Structure 1
Amino acid sequence: MKFTLSIFIFLALFNTLKAQDQKVLDSLENVYSISKDDKLKLKVSGDLCWSYGSVNFDKALFYGNAELLLAQKLKDSASIALAYSDIGNTYTRVNNLKEALNYHLKSLALRDKLGLKAKAAGSISNISIIYKQLGNYKEALDYMHRSLKIYEEAGDEVKQALVLGNISNVYMNYEKYAAAKESYDKVIDLAKKNKTTSLLASGYSGLMKYNFQLKKYDQALRSGKMAAKYLDDLNMKSDLAAVYNTIGQVYYEKGNYTEAIKYNNNSLRFREFMKDKLGIASCYKNLGACYAKLKDYPKAEQYINKSITIFKELNSKDYLREAYTILANVFEEKQDYINSLKFFKEGAAMKDSIYNKQTTDKISELQITYQTEKKIQQIALLNKENKIQKLLLLKRNIFLSLAIGVLVITLLFGFLLFKSIKLKQASRLQAEVILQQDLATKAVLNAEENERRRISGELHDGLGQMFSAVKMNLSALTDDLTFKNESSKEMFGKTLNLVDESCKEVRLISHQMAPNVLLKSGLATAVRDFISKIDARKLKINLETFGLQQRLDQNVETVLYRVIQETVNNVIKHSGANSLDIQLTKDEEGINAMIEDNGKGFDTASLEKFEGIGLKNIRSRVEYLKGSVDFSSTLHSGTLVAIHIPL
C-alpha cells in the first residue's frame, strides 16, 4: 500500500513537468515492468506513449499498443478511446497520416458514443490537423471550428490556443496572411496568460512561417529561434526538427547556405532518430539545394537522389517534383543539357494534367539550348518561319479556346440550371412525402389512443357497472337464500368472489388503457402508478426520474407512457428477469429513457426474429416523435433499451 501510494505521488509530480526528463521516463518504464496493477499500468503506458511521441517513435508505438490492450482487457471504453488517440498522435508525428487518421476517427466515434464532449473535441482537433497535412483544407477548417466552439463553451483557453494555431496554418495555405497573423498573435497572448511553454513554441513557429511567406526573413529568424528555444527546453524532437527545417529555408533564401546546411543537418538528425521518412527526404532535398548553390555538384546530386528514392517510395508527388527541378538545375549548371531536360520533364510529369507555364517554358528553353549545341546553323535559318507559324497557331488556338470556352460555359450553366430545378422538385416531393407520413402516423396513433379511451370508457361505464350491479344483487340475495348444505353456501361465496375479482380486473384494464393519472399528473407519476401495480415479488422495479418537474407535451407523454408500458410487458412475458431499472431524464437536448433488465437477453444480430408487433409498435411510436430507440443485449446478460426523444 505504501509503495502504491508513492507511485501515485510520483505520477502526479510527473504530470507537472514541462520537460521530458529521460530519468523520469526510465522510472516510469520501471513502474510499468514491475507493477501487477492493470489500472496503474494503463495510466503509466499512456503517459509513456505520449512522452515518447516526440522523442522515440518505436517506444511510443509500443506503449500505445500496450495501453490499448490493457484498456480492452479492463473493458474501459473511455481509456480505449484515449489509447486510440495516443496511437494516432504517434503516427502523426512521423507523418504516417493514413494510420493517424484511422485511429483518431475510431477515438472520435467512441467518445461521441460515450458522450465525452470535451474529449471528442480533442479528437476533432487532431483529425483537422491531419486533413490539413493531407491538403484537404475545407475538411480541416470544418473540424477545427467544431472543436474551437466546444473549447470556447468550456472556457478552456489552452485548447482554444491549440486550435487557433491550427486554423492559422490553414489560413497560411489559403494565403490569408492577415487573418493568420491575427490568430498567431492570439495564440501567443493565450500562451503567456496561461504560462504554457508548448503553446508559446507553437505561436512563434507560426509567426516564423508567416514572416517567411512575406519574405521578412530577419523577423522569421527571430520568431523561429524563439520557437526552437522553447522546443529544445521541452525536448520535443519532432517539432524541433520542423522548426530547424524552416530556419534552414530562411537562411537559404538569405543566401547564407552554410547556416542553411547547419540547420538542415540538425533537422535531419532528429528526423532520422524519429524514423520520419518524409521528413528525412525533405532534409535531403534541402541539403541538395544548398550544395547546388555552393556549386558542390557531387554532394548536391547525392542528396537529391537520396530524397527522390524516398519520395518515390512514399508517392509524394509535390516533393518529388521539387527534387526533380533542383536536380535539373544542377545539370543545367554543369551544362549537361540532356540530363537537365530529362529531369525537368520528370518534374513536369509530377504535375499530372495541371498546366505549369514556368516549367513548360523552361523545358522549351532547354530543348532550344540542346539543339543549339548540335545544329546552330539549322535553327538560325528556321527561326523566322517558326515565329510566323507560332503566331498563326497562337491566333487559331486562342479563337478555338474562346469558342470552346463559351460553349462549355453555356452547357455547364444549362446543366446546373437543370440540376437545380430537379433538386428543388425532389426536395419538395420528399418534404411532402415526409409530411404525409407524419400525418398518417399521427392519425394512426391518435385513432389508437381514441379507441383505447372509448374501450376504456365502455369497460368502466358499461361492463364494469354491470359487474358491480351483479355483485350488489347477489350480495342482497345472501340473506334471503336458504342453502341445502354448506357446500352450496361455499359455492355461492366463491361465485361472489369471482364477480368481485372480475370487477377489479375490468377496472384495472380500463385504467391501463386510458390512465387518468397520466392526464392529471404527468408522465413520471403515471409510470410510477403503473409499476406500483406489478407484483414486486416476481419483478422488482426501480424507477429514477430527473428533470421532469414540468409537464411535457401531451403527445410526448402519451407515446412515452405507451412505449414504457409495452417494454415492461415484454420484460414480464419474455425475459425471465426478476429486476428492472427504469431511468427517465430530461435535459436541454431532449428526453432519455433507459430500461434495463437482468433477464436472459437475446442476440441483437438476430433482432428481426424477435421483432413482433410489440417492438414494431415501440419503434413506430418513437419514430413518430423523431426520436431513436436502440436495443442492446447479449445472451444471458439482460437487455438495455435506450430511447431518446428530441425537444
Structure 2
Amino acid sequence: MKFALSLLLFGFAITYHANAQSQKSLDSLENVFKASDDDKEKLKISGDLCWSYGSVNFDKALFYGREELQLAQKLKDSVSVALAYSDIGNTYTRVNNLKEALVYHLKSYTLRDKLGLKAKAAGSISNISVIYKQMGNYKEALVYMHRSLKIYEDAGDEVKQALVLGNIGNLYIDYKKYDAAKETLDRTISLAKKTNSTSTLANAYSGLMNYYFHQNKLDQALQHGVMSANLLKQLNKQSDLAVLYNSIGQVYYEKNKYPEAMKYYNNSLDIRLFMKDKLGIASCYKNIGACYAELKDLVKAEKYIKDAIALFKEINAKDYLIEANEMLAGVYETKNDFIGSLKAYKESIEMKDSVYNKQSSDKINEMQIAYQTEKKIQQIALLNKENKIQKLVLFKRNIFLGVIAGLLVITLLLSYLFYNRYKLKQEARLQLEVISQQDLATKAVLNAEENERKRISGELHDGLGQMFSAVKMNLSALTESLNFKDEHSKEMFGKTMNLVDESCKEVRVISHQMAPNVLLKSGLAAAIRDFISKIDSRKLKINLETVGLQERLDQNIETVLYRVIQETVNNVIKHSGANSLDIQLNKDEDGINAMIEDNGRGFDATHLDKFEGIGLKNIRSRVNFLKGNVGFSSRPGSGTLVAIFIPF
C-alpha cells in the first residue's frame, strides 16, 4: 500500500497567539463576549476564541472568526480586519479546506502589505507558503518561505525565524533533499529551545520524525513522533495531534505492528470526527481498513475502506479515491470475490478519464436496455400471435429509429470532439514551433555575442598584446645604448617601461576575461572560483557555495550565468562599498538558482529604474534570453540581494 508521511505544519507557522486554553477558560471568555457591550473588547475576545477553538472545534472557530471580521469592519479598523482574515484562513487550513484558506490569507497579506505592516505581512507570507506546500505546489511554497525568512532575519526575530525554518526543513523532505532537511530542522530545534518556542519545537520533532521515516529508521521516527505528541498535548493542539497520530500510525504500519497502528489511527479519527475534517476522517478510515486487511479481518477492512470511498466521493478527492479503490480491489481479491475486485479496480480506472468512462457507461446501459427490450419482445411474440405480431413489428421499427437517431447523435458528438482535438493539436504544434524558433534565435544571439567576445579576445591577445610585447622588447634593447642626460630622464624612461609592462598585463587580463578558457574546459563553478581568486580578498571577501554542479550545464546557461555573476561582482566592487559577498549556486531538477548577496550600502529597490544602467540591463537581457527571471532586493544601508532562476 502506498503511504506518504506528511505532517501538518500550519499550526506552527502562523501569526503568534497565546497557547490553546482549557475549556473552562474558553467558556469564561464566551460568557464575557456575550455580556460585553464594548465592541473593541468583543473584537479582541472573538479573535482569541477563534484562534483557541481552531484546534478543537471548527464550527465555533469559524463563528467567532466571522464575528471578529464583522466587528473589525464595523470599527473601520484595517489592522484588525487583516488579522480577522488571517484567523479565518487558519481555521479553514486546520480542516484541510485549502482553497478557502488561501483566499483569506491572500486578503490578509494584501491588506497588511498596503498598510506597511512588514512583520505581519511576513506572517501572512508564511501562512501562504504552508498552504502552497499542502497543495503540492512546492516551488511557490519555497519562494514564499524564503521571502518570509528574509524579513524575519532582517528584523532579528529568532522566534519567527525558527517557525519558517521548520517549514523549510519539512519542504526539503518533500524535495527529497534529506541532508538539507536534517540540517535545517536541527537549526530549528536550537532556535526553538533558545527562545522557549514550544509549538515550533513540536513542529521540528515531527519534521525529524518525517525525516527518519524516509531514511527507514523507524524507531528513531517513533521516538521523535512521541516527543512531538507530548508537546502538542501540553498545548492542546487537537488538529495537529490528529495529523501526528495518523503519522505515528503509519510508522507502526511500516513496522508491521498493525494493532498499535490502529490505536493511533483511531485516536486521530476521534479528533477529526469532532473537527468535522472530512478528508482527515476518510484518510483514517482508509488506513484502519488497510490494517484490518493485513490482519485478515476482511469484513472490517471492506467496511472501513467503503466508508472512506463514500467520503472521498463526497469531497471529490480523486487521487485518494484511486488509492482507496485499488485497496478495496485487493481486499476483494483476497476474499476470492473477483467480480467485486474487478468492479473496484474499474472504479479506480474511471477516475483517470471520467469523460471517456461516462461515454462507455452510457453505451453499456444502452446495450443492456436493448437486450432487455429484445427479451421482452420475444416473450410477447410467444404469448401473442397474429394480433401482437403487428405491434411487435411496430415496436421494433421504433427501436430501430431510436437507435439510428442515437447513433447519429453519438457520431456528430464524436466528430465534433475529434475536430476540436485536431484543432487543439494544431494550435499546440504551432505554439511549439514558435517557442522552438525563439529558442533558436536566443541561442544564435548568445553564440554570436560569445563568438564576438572570442574574436576580440584573440585580436587583443595576438594583435595588440603582441605589439605591446614588441614595444617592451625594443625599449629594453635600447636601454643599454642610450645615454641619459640626467637622472630625471632615466627615471622617466623607467616609468615608461613600467607603463608598457602594465599595459601588456592589462591587455592579457581583458583578453582572458572576455573568453575565459577555464569556463570552456572546467565548467561554471571552476570558472567562477578562478574569477574570484583574482580579486583582492583584503578589500572584498567572497564566499562561494555550489550545490548540484558536479555535471556540466548547457554551454549557453554556463556562459550567461558566468557573465551575469561577473557583471554583478564588478558592480559590487564599483558601487556598493561592501567588504563581504556571498554567492550561492543551487541546481535541482527544475533549474538553477543563483543568489548573490553583499553587505554594502544598498539602494532603494522600489525605484530600480533610477539605478538601472547598462550593467543591470545586460543582466536582465541575458537572463530573459534563457526564459529565466531575476529579482533585486535592497534598501539603503542593508546590502543588496540578487536572485536569479533559470529553468531547464
TM-score when normalising by structure 2: 0.54
Matches of 2:213 and 2:339, distance apart in 1? 35
Deviation at 1:347, TM superposition (A): 2.7
SS at match of 1:222: helix
Q: Which amino acid aligns with 1:142?
A: V
Alignment of structure 1 residues 407-486 onto 2, 5 Å = 415-420=434-439
Matches of 2:606 and 2:168, distance apart in 1? 36
Contact 2:17–2:51 under 8 Å retained in 1 = no
Distance change (3 Å), C-alpha of 1:69 and 1:310 = same
Per-residue CA distance 1:86-108 (angstroms, 9 max, x = gap): 00000000001111000001111
Matches of 1:411 and 1:32, distance apart in 2? 63
Matches of 1:46 and 1:19, distance apart in 2? 13
User: Which residue of structure 1 aligns with residue 148 of structure 2?
Assistant: 147
User: Which residue of structure 2 aligns with residue 332 of structure 1?
Assistant: 333
Matches of 1:269 and 1:159, distance apart in 2? 32
Matches of 2:26 and 2:265, distance apart in 1? 28
Deviation at 1:624, TM superposition (A): 11
User: Which residue of structure 1 aligns with residue 216 of structure 2?
Assistant: 215
Matches of 1:590 and 1:38, distance apart in 2? 41
Alignment of structure 1 residues 106-117 onto 2, 5 Å = 106-117=107-118
Matches of 2:183 and 2:442, distance apart in 1? 40
Q: Which amino acid aligns with 1:325?
A: E
Distance change (3 Å), C-alpha of 1:247 and 1:313 = same
Distance change (3 Å), C-alpha of 1:80 and 1:422 = farther
1:286 aligned onto 2:287:
yes
Deviation at 1:216, TM superposition (A): 1.1
Matches of 1:189 and 1:352, distance apart in 2? 49
1:206 aligned onto 2:207:
yes
User: Which residue of structure 1 aligns with residue 129 of structure 2?
Assistant: 128
Distance change (3 Å), C-alpha of 1:64 and 1:423 = farther
Matches of 1:129 and 1:411, distance apart in 2? 38
Q: Which amino acid aligns with 2:137?
A: N
Matches of 1:34 and 1:181, distance apart in 2? 50
User: Which residue of structure 1 aligns with residue 88 of structure 2?
Assistant: 87
User: Which residue of structure 1 aligns with residue 41 of structure 2?
Assistant: 40
Matches of 2:116 and 2:323, distance apart in 1? 46
Contact 2:326–2:348 under 8 Å retained in 1 = yes
User: Which residue of structure 1 aligns with residue 177 of structure 2?
Assistant: 176
User: Which residue of structure 1 aligns with residue 255 of structure 2?
Assistant: 254
Matches of 1:181 and 1:107, distance apart in 2? 32
User: Which residue of structure 1 aligns with residue 237 of structure 2?
Assistant: 236
Contact 2:203–2:228 under 8 Å retained in 1 = yes
Distance change (3 Å), C-alpha of 1:411 and 1:62 = closer
Distance change (3 Å), C-alpha of 1:290 and 1:590 = closer
Q: Which amino acid aligns with 2:116?
A: G
Deviation at 1:424, TM superposition (A): 9.9
SS at match of 2:21: coil
Matches of 1:119 and 1:345, distance apart in 2? 50
Matches of 1:97 and 1:19, distance apart in 2? 22
Per-residue CA distance 1:323-380 (angstroms, 9 max, x = gap): 1121111111112223223323433444559xxxxxxxxxxxxxxxxxxxxxxxxxxx
User: Does 263-272 or 184-193 show the bigger shift?
Assistant: 184-193
User: Does 411-420 or 114-123 show the bigger shift?
Assistant: 411-420
Q: Which amino acid aligns with 1:22?
A: Q
Matches of 2:442 and 2:25, distance apart in 1? 62
What stretches of structure 1 of length at least 5 have no aligned partner?
1-14, 354-409, 427-586, 593-622, 627-645
Of structures 1 and 2, the one with the larger relative CO (CA 8 A, separation 6+) is: 2
Matches of 1:185 and 1:244, distance apart in 2? 22
Structure with greater Cα Rg: 1
Matches of 1:187 and 1:350, distance apart in 2? 41
User: Does 413-422 or 160-169 show the bigger shift?
Assistant: 413-422
Deviation at 1:16, TM superposition (A): 9.1
Distance change (3 Å), C-alpha of 1:210 and 1:345 = farther
Distance change (3 Å), C-alpha of 1:253 and 1:424 = closer
1:187 aligned onto 2:188:
yes
The CA RMSD measured in Å over matched residues stands at 3.0
Distance change (3 Å), C-alpha of 1:89 and 1:18 = closer
Per-residue CA distance 1:390-423 (angstroms, 9 max, x = gap): xxxxxxxxxxxxxxxxxxxx99996544123678
Contact 2:20–2:52 under 8 Å retained in 1 = no
SS at match of 1:315: coil
Q: Which amino acid aligns with 2:438?
A: K
Deviation at 1:17, TM superposition (A): 6.0
Matches of 1:164 and 1:17, distance apart in 2? 21
The number of residues matched between the two structures is 369
Matches of 1:412 and 1:332, distance apart in 2? 47
Distance change (3 Å), C-alpha of 1:293 and 1:24 = same
Matches of 1:56 and 1:36, distance apart in 2? 25
Distance change (3 Å), C-alpha of 1:69 and 1:185 = same
Distance change (3 Å), C-alpha of 1:18 and 1:92 = closer
Distance change (3 Å), C-alpha of 1:269 and 1:590 = closer
User: Which residue of structure 2 aligns with residue 635 of structure 1?
Assistant: none
Contact 2:145–2:164 under 8 Å retained in 1 = yes
SS at match of 1:295: coil
Deviation at 1:288, TM superposition (A): 0.4
User: Which residue of structure 2 aligns with residue 272 of structure 1?
Assistant: 273
Structure 1 moving runs of 4+ over 3 Å: 15-19, 348-353, 410-417, 420-426, 587-592, 623-626
User: Does 200-209 or 161-170 show the bigger shift?
Assistant: 161-170
Matches of 2:331 and 2:346, distance apart in 1? 14
Matches of 2:172 and 2:118, distance apart in 1? 26
SS at match of 1:304: helix
User: Which residue of structure 2 aligns with residue 57 of structure 1?
Assistant: 58
Matches of 1:423 and 1:124, distance apart in 2? 35
Matches of 1:109 and 1:425, distance apart in 2? 42
Matches of 1:16 and 1:351, distance apart in 2? 43
Distance change (3 Å), C-alpha of 1:207 and 1:351 = farther
Matches of 1:151 and 1:41, distance apart in 2? 31
Matches of 2:198 and 2:610, distance apart in 1? 53
Deviation at 1:19, TM superposition (A): 4.7
SS at match of 1:263: helix
1:30 aligned onto 2:49:
no
Matches of 1:276 and 1:213, distance apart in 2? 26
Alignment of structure 1 residues 491-506 onto 2, 5 Å = none
Per-residue CA distance 1:437-496 (angstroms, 9 max, x = gap): xxxxxxxxxxxxxxxxxxxxxxxxxxxxxxxxxxxxxxxxxxxxxxxxxxxxxxxxxxxx
Distance change (3 Å), C-alpha of 1:258 and 1:190 = same
Contact 2:332–2:340 under 8 Å retained in 1 = yes
Matches of 1:202 and 1:350, distance apart in 2? 35
SS at match of 1:255: coil
Distance change (3 Å), C-alpha of 1:295 and 1:81 = same
Matches of 2:55 and 2:18, distance apart in 1? 15
Matches of 1:170 and 1:411, distance apart in 2? 37
Matches of 1:194 and 1:171, distance apart in 2? 24
Deviation at 1:36, TM superposition (A): 1.5
Contact 2:19–2:52 under 8 Å retained in 1 = no
